[in-house]
């Protein structure tokens, strides 16, 4: 009997809800406005809608346990009982209080002696980026004597929930080897992979329960397979899947890889005793032929052919041209088609975008449309192209129109790009000379205090922005509101004694979107939200064409704020690499070319700020490391053009103008040469959760420039006291000279409340002053 469609899998879908329902529910719960039951009801409703939506779009292999209240790695830590002692858990079911304490921290509570975290409060777990994406996860914490136990039955419960609704799903779990490799130990010499034999029994328990509940397949995500693996990791993979196959023989496992090529570890992957293997053919199309040739006859191959990380519409005829020969060799009964990776990295539904430029919209596909593309591909692959000729012609026509569109190509930008030379990225003098001139100009004290840029985007700020967008607040009224918010922020910073001020960024909706909206070549989706972490969602710009600056973007707001104070006030810009890495980037030119176009636009802004009197200009490169290729062999090329782009935008100023930059969630040891090559006068970095361990790289490298290691974790609602921040500064002094050190929070403060920010920054200033007095 012929198939009506090749099986279509989705691997995982956005969990946030079309109208950000999860965000609203989480923030309501955290604020005490709703209870646990209400939060869990909202979560259940989102899962029900997700399953129904996928089925209606033609997906035949629908996942469960791809939903999370915060992140899927944290869910795994909770599932296996990898919960640090500080959170007060010893055994049994893990409460939401403990779960969110791990994610967000827990403030000391002097009025609730029964709270597990009341005595001293608890900092959140360290957070970092999920591979090379803008999604974050809470880093698992392990120790040599770690005991694992099944402490959450979430995968089983959500499988049963779907089954009760008539959906036979494929549960999704983070694979045990990837889970251990994503974790860390307080002892840097301890390898978490040594815990594998202790961890596997918990996975066996979960898989057995799933099988007993009726699951026939389970999806184990092992994206570690696209990294540079050592022999210990290869051995761990072999032992893991041999053990699971032996202990749970009736449950079929599909091993899922994504974000790159399996490369030299293909033989290892193909020899694992699993029933299926998923490969990313968007990031690594070159691996298809080798896998088709070498896969054993009973192995189901899941072909990731639709881009799960970008928003461009597929050229289905071109995809078919690649797939048809492969499927002819494999046999249609051995093939599934899927996105390259799970779909939380893209927005939910393009049809919600009624205001998007139709010339751009016709080039796009969001999660719903991507599943639709897969459904069409599945039918055509099973039944042939003849009945779908009109549909396929439409797809091919859209691809051709995009390639030739004048909206995407600008001759003036091309001419300016051709004029870039070595001098475009070189400061006039070396750092030692610049530092001498700048210290004489600014006269700052030891341990100068500042913030990263943004202040709380309160309900009043958000409401005013929304009212202005609706037209119920006039341009003049909105501008006056923002001027007053800025003035209050400047006065308050002066009152508490900060040494270098910022204007607060109240006019900005997002650090990338704000600039993208003022640059040519970008489009924005009103409902194009994706999750960054927890309830922090972003709307990445859609970079569809050549980039240039239309007019000055920040001068007016910086100038207003600087006019209110005699202290130096940093002008804050977002750097070209971060704008690129936090956007949906066009795929018709090299990323390096797009980045240099952005760099030229930011350079224009930097030069105009200096002409207007700005003495300190901060160019944030929060996402520099995020863009690193997963294979180290490709790092040099990426870092070359990334550093070049930063220097292009920052090098057009005089020696006395101080260039700052800021970076998030970065391990610096292996890219310290590139950090130094940026040649920023001051770099601020997130270090509070790592207890200054990230500074080891700067010490061993003998980094000469100035550094502001974060002493206040802004991703947690906790308010650290002055002693805690003083201790962190003391740790930093073991790595750096006093002349190098600045004192600042980890990151911008827009997501925090003034009730948290005010005491925290007052404590930060006090800590710096105490250290000055003692020096």
Of the candidates 141, 159, 255, the one whose C-alpha atom is nearest the C-alpha of residue 208 is 159
d(CA 214, CA 160): 9
d(CA 608, CA 602): 10
**Cα separation values, 317 from 341, 388, 389, 390, 552, Å:** 21, 10, 10, 11, 43
* Residue entry with tokens 């009152």: 495
Asked whether the beta carbons of 659 and 615 are under 8 A apart, the reply is no
d(CA 246, CA 442): 68
Q: 702 is written with which tokens?
A: 């003998």
Handedness of CA 471, 475, 477, 480 (dihedral sign): positive
* DSSP conformational letter for 497: T
* Residue entry with tokens 């939401």: 96
CA-based end-to-end distance of the chain: 83
| DSSP-based three-state secondary structure for 455 | coil
Asked whether the beta carbons of 152 and 174 are under 8 A apart, the reply is no
Asked whether the beta carbons of 567 and 497 are under 8 A apart, the reply is no
* Residue entry with tokens 């003495």: 615
Q: 112 is written with which tokens?
A: 């609730």
d(CA 644, CA 678): 8
Residue 362, judged by CB atoms within 10 A of its CB (0-12, 13-18, 19+), counts as middle
Handedness of CA 758, 759, 761, 765 (dihedral sign): positive
* DSSP conformational letter for 268: H
d(CA 758, CA 367): 40
DSSP class per residue in 194-255: GGHHHHHHHHHHHHHHHHHHT--EEEEE-GGGGS---HHHHHHHHHHHHHHHHHSTTSEEEE
Angle between helices 196-213 and 231-247 (to 10 degrees): 30
Question: Phi/psi zone of residue 255: left (φ > 0), alpha (ψ -120 to 50 degrees), beta?
Answer: beta
Of the candidates 603, 571, 623, 614, the one whose C-alpha atom is nearest the C-alpha of residue 450 is 571
Handedness of CA 709, 722, 691, 196 (dihedral sign): negative
Catalytic status, residue 278: no
**Cα separation values, 598 from 235, 426, 605, 618, 624, Å:** 44, 17, 11, 16, 14
Residue of 660, 715, 734, 735 marked catalytic? 715
Beta bridge partners, 338, equal: 304
Q: Cα 309 to the chain's mean position, in Å? A: 12
d(CA 656, CA 206): 61
The Cα angle at residue 255 between residues 250 and 260, in degrees rounded to 5: 175
Asked whether the beta carbons of 372 and 58 are under 8 A apart, the reply is yes
- CB atoms inside a 10 Å sphere around CB 161: 18
Asked whether the beta carbons of 270 and 264 are under 8 A apart, the reply is no
Strand 519-523: give its sheet, edge to edge.
519-523, 542-549, 584-585
* DSSP conformational letter for 449: B
Question: Phi/psi zone of residue 443: left (φ > 0), alpha (ψ -120 to 50 degrees), beta?
Answer: left
Q: Which residues are catalytic?
A: 715
């Amino acid at each position: 009997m012929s198939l009506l469609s090749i099986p279509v899998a989705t691997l995982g879908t956005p969990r946030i809800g079309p109208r950000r329902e999860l965000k609203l529910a989480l923030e309501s719960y955290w604020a005490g406005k709703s209870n646990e039951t209400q939060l869990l009801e909202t979560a259940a409703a989102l899962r029900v809608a997700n399953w129904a939506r996928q089925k209606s779009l033609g997906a035949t292999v629908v996942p469960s346990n791809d939903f999370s209240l915060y992140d899927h790695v944290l869910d795994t830590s909770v599932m296996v009982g990898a919960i640090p002692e500080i959170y007060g858990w010893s055994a049994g079911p893990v409460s939401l209080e403990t779960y969110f304490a791990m994610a967000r921290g827990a403030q000391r509570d002097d009025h609730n002696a029964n709270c597990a975290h009341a005595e001293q409060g608890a900092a959140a777990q360290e957070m970092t980026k999920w591979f090379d994406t803008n999604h974050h996860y809470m880093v698992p914490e392990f120790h040599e004597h770690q005991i694992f136990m099944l402490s959450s039955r979430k995968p089983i419960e959500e499988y049963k929930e779907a089954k009760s609704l008539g959906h036979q799903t494929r549960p999704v779990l983070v694979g045990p080897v990837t889970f251990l490799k994503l974790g860390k130990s307080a002892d840097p010499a301890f390898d978490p992979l040594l815990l594998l034999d202790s961890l596997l029994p918990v996975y066996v328990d979960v898989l057995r329960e799933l099988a007993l509940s009726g699951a026939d397949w389970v999806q184990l995500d092992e994206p570690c397979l696209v990294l540079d693996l050592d022999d210990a990791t290869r051995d761990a993979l072999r032992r893991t899947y041999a053990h699971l196959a032996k202990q749970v023989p009736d449950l079929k496992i599909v091993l899922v890889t994504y974000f790159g090529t399996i490369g030299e570890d293909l033989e290892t992957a193909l020899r694992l005793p699993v029933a299926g293997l998923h490969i990313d053919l968007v990031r690594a199309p070159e691996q298809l032929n080798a896998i088709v040739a070498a896969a054993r006859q009973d192995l189901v191959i899941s072909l990731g052919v639709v881009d799960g990380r970008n928003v461009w519409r597929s050229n289905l005829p071109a995809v078919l041209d690649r797939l048809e020969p492969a499927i002819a060799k494999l046999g249609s009964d051995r093939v599934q088609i899927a996105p390259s990776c799970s779909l939380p990295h893209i927005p939910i539904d393009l049809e919600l975008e009624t205001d998007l430029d139709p010339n751009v919209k016709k080039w796009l596909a969001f999660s719903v449309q991507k599943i639709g593309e897969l459904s069409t591909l599945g039918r055509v692959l099973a039944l042939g192209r003849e009945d779908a000729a009109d549909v396929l012609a439409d797809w091919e026509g859209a691809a051709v129109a995009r390639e030739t569109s004048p909206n995407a190509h600008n001759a003036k930008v091309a001419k300016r790009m051709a004029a870039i030379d070595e001098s475009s990225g070189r400061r006039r003098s070396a750092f030692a000379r610049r530092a001498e001139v700048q210290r004489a100009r600014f006269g700052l004290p030891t341990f100068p205090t500042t913030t990263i840029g943004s202040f709380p985007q309160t309900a009043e700020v958000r409401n005013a922005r929304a009212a202005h967008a609706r037209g119920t607040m006039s341009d003049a009224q909105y501008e006056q509101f923002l001027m007053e918010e800025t003035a209050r922020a400047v006065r308050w910073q002066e009152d508490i004694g900060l040494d270098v001020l910022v204007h607060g960024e109240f006019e900005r909706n997002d650090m990338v979107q704000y600039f993208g909206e003022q640059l040519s070549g970008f489009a924005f989706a009103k409902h194009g939200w994706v999750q960054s972490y927890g309830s922090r969602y972003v709307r990445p710009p859609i970079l569809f064409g050549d980039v240039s600056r239309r007019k000055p973007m920040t001068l007016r707001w910086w100038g207003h704020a600087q006019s209110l104070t005699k202290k130096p006030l940093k002008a804050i810009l977002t750097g070209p690499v971060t704008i690129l890495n936090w956007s949906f980037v066009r795929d018709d030119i090299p990323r390096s070319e797009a980045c240099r176009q952005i760099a030229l636009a930011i350079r224009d802004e930097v030069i105009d700020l200096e002409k207007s009197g700005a003495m300190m200009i901060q160019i944030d490169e929060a996402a520099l490391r995020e863009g690193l290729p997963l294979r180290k062999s490709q790092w040099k090329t990426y870092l070359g053009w990334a550093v070049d782009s930063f220097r292009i935008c920052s090098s057009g100023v005089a020696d006395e103008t101080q260039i700052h930059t800021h970076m998030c969630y970065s391990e610096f040891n292996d890219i310290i040469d590139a950090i130094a090559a940026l040649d920023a006068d001051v770099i601020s970095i997130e270090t509070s959760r790592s207890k200054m361990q990230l500074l080891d790289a700067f010490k061993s490298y003998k980094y000469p420039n100035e550094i502001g290691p974060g002493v206040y974790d802004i991703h947690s609602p906790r308010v650290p006291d002055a002693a805690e921040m003083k201790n962190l500064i003391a740790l930093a002094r073991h790595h750096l000279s006093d002349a190098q050190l600045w004192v600042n929070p980890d990151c911008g403060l827009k997501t925090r409340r003034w009730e948290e920010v005010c005491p925290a920054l007052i404590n930060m200033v006090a800590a710096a002053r105490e250290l000055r007095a003692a020096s």
